[in-house]
Amino acid sequence: MERSERGYTLVEILVATVMLAIIAGIAIPSFLAFTQRSKLDAAVRQIVEDVREARSRASLRGWQYRIYGFNYGAASAYKNQYRLMGRSSSAIAWPADAATPFETATQVVGMWNDMSTAYPGVRINPTDGTPHFWVAFDARGVAIDVDDSFRPLQVTHQTGGTKSVSVTTAGGVRIQ
C-alpha cells in the first residue's frame, strides 16, 4: 500500500520564514520613509494652499490678508500653528495674535491650523529663534510684509527631510 503524505517539512517552513523576514526587513524601512516624506509633502502643500488662499482673498475682497503663525520652538500655546487673518485696510490694526476666530466689517480671523495634530512629526521653522512668522498681501495680491522667518519658511520632519516655502514680491509661492 502506497502512502502519500501531505504537508511541509521543517526545512521548507524555515526557508519560507527566513525569506519573509528578509523581504520585511527591506520593505518596512522603505515604507516608513515613504510615510514620513508623505507627511512632509502634505504639510507643505497645505501651507502653500493657505498662502495662496490669503493672496486670493486679498485680491477678490480688496482687503489685506496674511498668514500668521508660531514657530515650533515658540513658547506659545500656539506653537507649530498658523492661521489666516484679514483687515479691510492698513488704517485698521491686524487682529490680536491670540484672538478667537471672528469676522467683523473690518477684520477677520480664521481657525488655527495645528501642524502637530494634522501632520505628526512635522515642524515649522524648528531652529528659528523667533516666536512667530507671517506673510501679508495687499488688495492686489502683492506681498507687502514678509517676516524674516518666512524667507524662506522651513518645514521639516522630525526624522529628517526639509522643504522650504518662499513668497516672491509679486505674491508667487515657491517650494524648494
Domain contains 16: yes
State in Å, rounded, how far the first CA of the chain is from the last one.
Answer: 75
Domain contains 3: no
Mean pLDDT for all residues in the chain: 93
Q: Residue 86 corresponds to which amino acid? A: G
* CA 19-24-28 angle, 5° bins: 165
3-class DSSP state for residue 9?
coil
Question: Where does the pLDDT of residue 150 fall: very low under 50, low under 70, confident under 90, or very high at 90 and above?
Answer: very high
Domain contains 21: yes
Domain contains 77: yes
Instruction: State the DSSP H helix or E strand holding residue 123, giving kind and residue range, or none if neither.
Output: strand 122-124
Question: Where does the pLDDT of residue 2 fall: very low under 50, low under 70, confident under 90, or very high at 90 and above?
Answer: low
Domain contains 126: yes
Cell digits for 18? 527566513
Q: Cβ(107)–Cβ(87) under 8 Å?
A: yes
Q: What is the pLDDT of residue 142?
A: 96
Q: Is the pLDDT of residue 3 over 80?
A: no
Domain contains 4: no
Q: Is the pLDDT of residue 40 over 90?
A: yes
Q: Is the pLDDT of residue 68 over 70?
A: yes
Q: Is the pLDDT of residue 33 over 80?
A: no
CA dihedral 116, 48, 152, 67 (to 10 degrees): -80
Cell digits for 83? 492661521
Q: Which domain holds residue 47?
A: 10-175
The number of domains in the chain is 1
Name which of 63, 143, 144 is nearest 105 in CA terms: 63
Domain contains 27: yes
Domain contains 2: no
Sign of the four-CA dihedral 123, 146, 140, 66: positive
Q: What is the pLDDT of residue 31?
A: 79
**CATH classification at residue 126:** 3.55.40.10
C-beta neighbour count of 11 within 10 angstroms: 8
